[in-house]
Amino acid sequence: MDQIVENRATETVVESHFGNDTQIEYVPLGLLCKSPHNVRRKAPTGIEALAGNIAAAGVMQNLVTHEMKTRGKQRKLGVCAGQRRLLALELLRTTGRIDDSYPVPVKVVSEADAVAVSLIENQQREPMHPADACEAFRLLVNEGRTVTFIAALFSLSEIQVQRHLKLANVSPRLIDVFRDDGMTLEQIRTLALTDDHELQERLWFDAAQPWQRNPAQLRDAITNSEIDVADSNLVAFVTLDAYEAAGGHVRRDLFSDEQNAGYVTDAELLHRLVAEKLVSVAQTLSNEGWSWVETRVRRDFPEMARFGRLPSASREYTKKEKTELRALKKASEQAATELNAYYDAEDEAEDDARRDVLETAADAASQALDDFAERLEIWSDDQKARAGAFVTLDHDGQAAIERGLVKPEDRASVNREGLTSADELPVPAEKPLHGKDLSKRLTAHRTAAVQIELARNPVAALAVLMHRLIPVVFDDRYVCVYDQHAADVRATCSHSRLLQAADDMEASAAWKGISAEREKWAALLPTRFSDLLPWLMTQSEDVLSNLFAFCVAATVNGVSESDGAHPVNVLMNLLNVDMTQYWKATRTSYLNHVSKARIVDVVAQALSPEAAAPLEKLKKDAAAETAERLLADARWLPEVLVSRETPVVWDDDEDEEEEEAA
């Protein structure tokens, strides 16, 4: 039974003294028998060794007993605490080393307190099996003990007591299997998700293969018509509060520490609420003047590929907006700097709360910039009359809106009327396709590829560093340049960050090249820092230039929690980096980290919809395994590794010149 340290309410009062005012007395062994209130059901071990100790030194610790109800006049005391000692004494009596008259020290308690005393005794000695502890808690509740009392008595939280009581409601047949170590704690916890004993037993005893008893398989079987709150973008979109306010029920998972752990049992109600909220968003778009608006729960990539797209325009900034954009950029850079400083401080202890605050601030600042850009995007009334908009849900449960779409049947007429061909039109900005963790993983591999390419090009490395130093040295010429950079001139090595962002980094070709270069230079460098500068002064130009290139490359940091534009793409373009040489879509690198629907979309993009169709009938793991085989030679890359989009450079002196000219 898990123990935790927590402050309990001081007004909680233990409802019994459990015989503390009773004196220990010695009674003949013949009066003792096992009590039906002894909560230890699993057979005790080590009885022979204990019997030897008692034969040598006697019974060192008293047993706890209660009066048994018998038909005759013969007195009987049931042992509710001390079962192992009683069995050891009975073994000594069976072998003739003692008899029924052997005096045994006991303390007599009331029968009402027998279960609680037995549980306290067993928990304080050899740990009880969780199955026995769960049943004991249930017996205490049946006797009228409250959850609060039990929690106070055993220094547990009330949720821990409730978890044990939940396990006690599992089928008795399965409890016996658990007690005999025939299943794991995680398996019985999963079976406890349902109170249906028949279903529990059918899932366990009728399983044709061992893998069907895995917790994940059991959970899927129990909740196959339910929706996991933690992983559902539908719940995130509607919110759990709104679902419950509409009368929806949530099957709570007592064994999870997540705030929103549980399962939505009324999928029909949830989908109706999603549809109603999507209609509300669609109505807002209709009010903008679009000729049509359609909604989908998820984005269908093959479907969307058939639509044409009209180009949007960006209206001119007002002076107020220019000031706002400068402030947003400064705030974003400051938030990113503070977050990077936290990541780089390896000597400091982990502070999850501070990291969460910094990450939240950085995300909010980045999102503010994205929202600002969307505010400037405009379409003409003529475009709105010829096109429409789509509303879908992204992986995080946010409404993703795509405007300026032309239906497949209208593309020909739109092109005839002089609008740009859909194949030549840019795709409007949309919500990130990849989550934060996967974006960090992919961009770490992108960074490693840039590093090894830059390390092999001393001239490019020199240009990169000069690009950072010149605005600092010639600050009178480049007064205010708001730009992001891939190289961190604070001489912060980003190698450890790449390993943290991608646990499969060490297997990549780029990382192997980086490691080989690092080992080569480490072997050449002097061991003492005081010898480093004299050593550098004696090296050839070739050695210095190549070492310089490696060191500059090590400062490149392109790891990002979003899959949008990034300054590292400037280097990707200049160095002409081919990511297919350094990254391949496998289960480890990508497929295990996305939904099955995304896996199907990827295969459809890389090969064909026909090749992807069979994957829809497979389980997620099987679909990922099949997709890995199909994509082996496809040279497919996720959007974040294909895109070479770079952030806009904002130069204040250009604004000043424009304003003066006006």
The sheet carrying 77-81 orders its strands as 25-28, 103-108, 63-67, 77-81, 32-34
Which tokens sit at 562?
């979003």
- Same structural domain for residues 40 and 155? yes
Q: 469 lies in a domain?
A: yes
Domain end call among 372, 389, 424: 424
DSSP 487: B
Rounded CA-CA distance 18/113 in Å is 6
Phi then psi dihedrals of residue 306, to 5 deg: -80, -10
Residue 286: Cβ-neighbour burial (10 angstroms; 0-12, 13-18, 19+): middle
- Same structural domain for residues 62 and 85? yes
Q: 569 lies in a domain?
A: yes
Give the Å distances, CA to CA, from 350 to 343, 345, 355, 502: 10, 10, 8, 19
Rounded CA-CA distance 570/577 in Å is 11
pLDDT at 627: 92
Alpha helices in 456-565 (DSSP H): 458-473, 495-501, 509-524, 532-537, 541-554
Give the Å distances, CA to CA, from 484 to 320, 334, 481, 557: 22, 11, 9, 11
Q: What is the DSSP string of 531-559?
A: GHHHHHHTS-HHHHHHHHHHHHHHTB---
Which residues on neighbouring strands pair with residue 406, listed in sequence order?
308
pLDDT at 261: 66
- Same structural domain for residues 419 and 471? no
Domain limits for position 124: 25-168
Q: Beta strands of 103-193 (E only): which ranges?
A: 103-108
Q: 461 lies in a domain?
A: yes
- Same structural domain for residues 125 and 38? yes
Closest CA to 222 of 250, 193, 264: 193
Which tokens sit at 13?
């009062």
Characterize 261-280 residue by residue with b for buried, 16 or more Cβ atoms within 10 angstroms of its Cβ, and e for exposed: ebbbebeebbeebbeebbee
pLDDT at 127: 57
- Same structural domain for residues 29 and 163? yes
The alpha carbon torsion through 630, 634, 640, 644 (nearest 10 deg) reads -170
The length of the chain in residues reads: 662
- Same structural domain for residues 146 and 92? yes
Domain end call among 374, 399, 424: 424
- Same structural domain for residues 412 and 454? no
- Same structural domain for residues 344 and 367? yes
- At CA 189, angle to CA 188 and CA 193, rounded to 5? 110
Instruction: Give Cβ neighbours of residue 270 (< 8 Å, ≥ 6 apart).
Output: 227, 234, 235, 238, 243, 248, 264
- Same structural domain for residues 382 and 442? no
Q: Beta strands of 18-102 (E only): which ranges?
A: 25-28, 32-34, 63-67, 77-81
Q: 615 lies in a domain?
A: no
Which residues on neighbouring strands pair with residue 228, listed in sequence order?
263
Domain end call among 168, 188, 208: 168
Q: Which amino acid is at 330?
A: K
Give the Å distances, CA to CA, from 452 to 223, 336, 518, 553, 560: 48, 25, 11, 7, 19
**Secondary structure tally for the chain: helices H, strands E:** 30, 16
Q: 174 lies in a domain?
A: no
Check: CB of residue 528 under 8 Å from CB of residue 535: no
Check: CB of residue 261 under 8 Å from CB of residue 252: yes
Closest CA to 312 of 372, 378, 245, 253: 378
- Same structural domain for residues 394 and 299? yes
- Same structural domain for residues 162 and 234? no
Alpha-carbon torsion 640, 645, 651, 652, what sign?
negative
Rounded CA-CA distance 285/293 in Å is 7
Rounded CA-CA distance 388/385 in Å is 8
Phi then psi dihedrals of residue 406, to 5 deg: -110, 125
Alpha-carbon torsion 371, 375, 378, 384, what sign?
positive
Rounded CA-CA distance 618/596 in Å is 9
Q: What is the DSSP string of 607-646?
A: T-HHHHGGGGGS-HHHHHHHHHHHTTTT----HHHH----
3-state helix, strand, coil split of the chain in percent (to 5) is 55, 10, 35
Give the Å distances, CA to CA, from 556 to 113, 241, 340, 456: 69, 44, 13, 14
Q: Which amino acid is at 37?
A: H
Check: CB of residue 149 under 8 Å from CB of residue 60: no
Closest CA to 484 of 651, 655, 652, 649: 649
- Same structural domain for residues 332 and 356? yes
Domains in the chain: how many in total?
A: 4
Give the Å distances, CA to CA, from 576 to 395, 582, 589: 32, 13, 23
Q: 605 lies in a domain?
A: no
Give the Å distances, CA to CA, from 292 to 195, 272, 299, 390: 48, 21, 17, 9
Instruction: Give Cβ neighbours of residue 616 (< 8 Å, ≥ 6 apart).
Output: 596, 600, 623
The CATH number that applies at residue 153 is 3.90.1530.30
10-residue stretch averages of pLDDT, the chain, 662 residues long:
38 44 82 79 75 77 82 79 86 89 87 65 59 74 77 68 76 85 84 81 79 75 69 83 85 58 74 84 88 83 79 77 84 83 68 80 81 77 87 84 85 59 41 75 82 81 65 46 49 76 87 88 81 77 82 81 79 86 91 88 90 88 91 89 72 48 46
Q: 193 lies in a domain?
A: no
Closest CA to 322 of 651, 662, 660, 565: 651
Residue 64: Cβ-neighbour burial (10 angstroms; 0-12, 13-18, 19+): buried
Residue 480: Cβ-neighbour burial (10 angstroms; 0-12, 13-18, 19+): middle
Q: 335 lies in a domain?
A: yes
- At CA 585, angle to CA 579 and CA 589, rounded to 5? 100
Q: What is the DSSP string of 332-368?
A: HHHHHHHHHHHHH-TTSPP-HHHHHHHHHHHHHHHHH
